[in-house]
Structure 1
Amino acid sequence: MTTTVIKNAQIVNEGEVIQADLRIVNQRIDKIATDITAKQNDIVIDAKGCYLIPGMIDDQVHFREPGLTQKGTIASESRAAVAGGITSYMEMPNVNPATTTIEALEQKYAIAAEKSHANYAFYLGATEDNLEQIKRLDPSRHCGVKVFMGASTGDLLVEAPHALDAIFRDAPTLIVTHCESSPIIAENTKALLEKKSTLTIEDHPIQRDTKACYASSSYAVGLAKKYQSQLHVLHITTAKELDLFAAGPIENKHITAEACVHHLWFCDQDYARLGNFIKCNPAIKTQADRDALIQALHSNKIDIIATDHAPHTLAEKQVEFAKAPAGLPLVQHALLTLFEHVNQGRLSLPQVVEKTAHNPAKRYAIAERGYIREGYFADLVLVDMADSTLVTQDNTLYKCGWTPFLSTHFSAKILSTWVNGQQAYQAQQMPISSKPEVMPLSFNR
């Protein structure tokens, strides 16, 4: 039996911050109390002045395995995630081959069981002709079905109305969508090329503009209302799209929305400095859009914050704009960006915890995670909000080897991460600790 006692922590949980001790026994939180006496063989950590929060549950990552492992692997990217305070993740189907069958889905679970540093779940990718595979999803085991409503290639692009209707009618799990209209993107690109011969990174949010996003997201919301589907719209980027979503608590919503950390951090003014390193789909938009997303976190029109972590090699990014792939690595620095919002007064720590842990647990009905509660799995992060983190090449863990946050000086520091009660990361130890015992997420639905 392994017992850890965390003393004098400021515990951030369910809208409150309380000073208390916490005891971990094996995988779970055994006790939370004002004063817990440690026994002789207990591991004791003095957390005085620091905050203890539930680990982030990231419902949108691309870890690139199988088939694209030059960019990242389940092992490398989950290791970076744990260093960033992410203790559970849900991974996307656009790998090679794409995850469009239950058999391919289960193969990814097998890889994660052996290699992952964090708890895991995987999405099935929708195509225009795999409805029978979608119907085979197990709501207690599989997190959902991913529908690329535009902005994808090959079988994963689903645009035919009959196919979308069938998915929204028959999917047995949560439907998550990437919403951009391919026809509108094509129209915008054509109009740009009539004015100039070569497009640049500054054209990216013009190609993939508010109109393209809203046309697709409003279509998805309309389908969900028609069929009373469980819909979660990923990475909202525009102020206009926020009109599609209800304000208020996530409970009892069947249509929810998400923002990603890079859309809350960067705006189009950053393209001149960072270029292709912040090329992503949907595109980073204006400062006004970014400010509207932050406000929507306060009104609860945005329910969840995720990463959309999507690494590419440095060589792939260092080409002309049109040929550069979209996506950037984020899991190691996601929570640090949110803590910066806290220290700058834009968000509160309880809000960050709600959007990164509580609400993902609620929306996906994740069993025994997402909160600091006695009996729950001990997925925990210890944070010093008064220390700092300088992002360097040497302390960046992504397999791709680069980060858009290079040389950023964050005003908080992640000290430790526990996954299922095991200390999986310690800031003083690089490389990070040995791989913890992890498990697939399970869902009470």
Structure 2
Amino acid sequence: MTEPVDLLLKNVTLPDGRVADVSVDRGVVRHVGAPLRAAETVDCSRLLCLPAAVDMHVHMRGGEQAYKENFATGTASAVAGGVTVVVDQPNTIPPITTAERLRSRVEEAHRQAVCGFAVNAGVTGDADLAGMWRAGALAFGETFAAPSSYGEALPPEILAPLFERIRQLGGLATVHAEEVAGDRPLATLTGHDRARPAAGEVLAVTAVGRLAPPGLRLHFCHLSTADAVDAARGSVEVTPHHLFLSREAFDPDDAAGKVNPPLRSERERKRLWSRWEKIDVIASDHAPHTHGEKSRGIAAAPSGIPGVETMVPLLVAEARKRRIPLPSVIEKTSWKPADLLGIPRAGFAPGDRADYALYPESIAKVDPDQLHSRCGWSPYAGYDAVFPAEVIVQGVRAYHDGAVAAALPRWHPGAGYNTSEDL
């Protein structure tokens, strides 16, 4: 008799509407259809089984910023929200601009993470792009075409040759595109919006598109306006906070709503939703800061909002209300980011990565006290969400009953990993 597979997911409703049993072994799908004998079984008949998300834009902090997040707390937060791969951005302290720093960051993640992870390479005038590509960087950036927290803007004369080098390497260039108008102290969220205006985002997206050489794989991070989505050349990423939050949702001087690009008006927020079909990827731009840091006032407080745990649950609630199609949630949170980054898809075909999140039928409210991020707060308190009852990582029941049950770190290096010195 053959050995049993590791896990059987019974009565899974597949994206095409069929109901089947999914047999999983050694972290991948072995068979879809009639059940194979399994060591463990999960009945999904009353649960929504979705391929787990890949969040291609997170800031896991750590190091001297570990008081507000690290890989242990950040990835626990991710898994609790149905995310099983996170892509860490390089504007750490110090920034990841050398192969040595990138390897050190990967080692830190291996020690602490409870799910899959990858690390991007920083893009600066003196960065060792080829060395980091060989060391396993998944992508390049976010590359700052405007300044943001822990990231300095690159002028066109520096950015253009860096883009050409990334094209030669075959990497994906991810870009933070804004224009900053003036340097006056800001007292309100409206002032912050005006200092980083919607029109300037469109101009920056257009300028970056013109600057990028033919053949460069270009990805725009966290676009906040409908017009910027329309103007983008390359793949487009939008965050939940730009879809669900507007500056009118906060008191004018509440820095909990301060983020780059800024939260826009309620009218612009609704216009961004109208571009849903043009958006390639939803990513959280999870950028946690403490209550104390966000209480300093608009001018002094750092920009950033936590969101890796609430990203998919907010979208699943919208799908439950039939406001967005569930297949598009899968596409934008799981399959498209995996394809852009070269990570194997989680899914329901033999050989697919066996990462899933199982969601109940009921809609709940976001309670910050129940979230897992170290920063301890959320801008989505009271918002409708559907949190997973269970999350499966690499074919293992890794999260249930509100807690992480198994730590399964897995590094996803980029295509340049261990390539030749001739790059």
The separation in 2 between residues aligned to 1:139 and 1:57, in whole angstroms, is 23
Structure 1 spans left out of the alignment, 5+ residues: 247-254
Residue 8, structure 1, aligned to residue 11, structure 2: yes
Shift of 1:391: 2.7
Q: Give the aligned CA root-mean-square deviation in angstroms.
A: 2.1
Name 1:272's counterpart in structure 2: 251
Query: Residue 2 and residue 38 in structure 1: after superposition, are their counterparts in 2 closer, same or farther (change >3 A)?
Result: closer
Which of 340, 353, 359 does residue 317 from structure 2 map onto?
Answer: 340
Residue 423, structure 1, aligned to residue 403, structure 2: no
Contact 1:57–1:370 at 8 Å: present in 2 too?
no
The separation in 2 between residues aligned to 1:29 and 1:227, in whole angstroms, is 38
With 271-280 and 400-409 compared, the bigger mean Cα shift is at: 271-280
**Cα distance per residue 1:341-389 (max 9 Å; x no partner):** 21233211100000111111221222x22433211221111112x2133
Matches within 5 A, 1:381-400: 381-384=357-360, 386-400=361-375
The separation in 2 between residues aligned to 1:431 and 1:352, in whole angstroms, is 24
Contact 1:128–1:158 at 8 Å: present in 2 too?
no
The separation in 1 between residues aligned to 2:230 and 2:351, in whole angstroms, is 39
Structure 2 spans left out of the alignment, 5+ residues: 417-423
Query: Residue 153 and residue 325 in structure 1: after superposition, are their counterparts in 2 closer, same or farther (change >3 A)?
Result: closer
Shift of 1:289: 2.5
Which of 55, 75, 78 does residue 58 from structure 1 map onto?
Answer: 55
Name 2:27's counterpart in structure 1: 27
Letter in 1 for 2:376: G
Q: After TM superposition, where is structure 1 displaced by more than 6 Å over at least 4 residues in a row?
A: none
Name 1:36's counterpart in structure 2: 35
Letter in 1 for 2:260: N
**Cα distance per residue 1:106-128 (max 9 Å; x no partner):** 11111111211111111111112
The separation in 2 between residues aligned to 1:174 and 1:37, in whole angstroms, is 40
Say which SS state the counterpart of residue 404 (structure 1) adopts. coil
Name 2:352's counterpart in structure 1: 376
The separation in 1 between residues aligned to 2:403 and 2:356, in whole angstroms, is 19
Matches within 5 A, 1:30-429: 30-33=30-33, 35-36=34-35, 38-39=37-38, 42-130=39-127, 133-138=128-133, 141-146=136-141, 147-152=143-148, 156-171=151-166, 172=169, 173-182=171-180, 184=181, 186=182, 190=184, 199-224=187-212, 226-245=213-232, 255-272=234-251, 275-298=254-277, 301-366=278-343, 368-384=344-360, 386-410=361-385, 412-426=386-400, 429=401
TM-score under structure 1 length normalisation: 0.86
Q: Size of the alignment, in residue pairs?
A: 409
**Cα distance per residue 1:259-295 (max 9 Å; x no partner):** 1111111122212389222211001112332233323
Query: Residue 422 and residue 153 in structure 1: after superposition, are their counterparts in 2 closer, same or farther (change >3 A)?
Result: closer
Say which SS state the counterpart of residue 138 (structure 1) adopts. helix
Shift of 1:37: 5.0
TM-score under structure 2 length normalisation: 0.91
Contact 1:387–1:413 at 8 Å: present in 2 too?
no
The separation in 1 between residues aligned to 2:363 and 2:157, in whole angstroms, is 52
Name 1:249's counterpart in structure 2: none
Shift of 1:417: 0.9
The separation in 2 between residues aligned to 1:43 and 1:354, in whole angstroms, is 28
Letter in 2 for 1:323: A
Say which SS state the counterpart of residue 21 (structure 1) adopts. strand
**Cα distance per residue 1:25-57 (max 9 Å; x no partner):** 131111111x31545xx2111111322111100
Shift of 1:322: 0.8
Query: Residue 274 and residue 85 in structure 1: after superposition, are their counterparts in 2 closer, same or farther (change >3 A)?
Result: farther
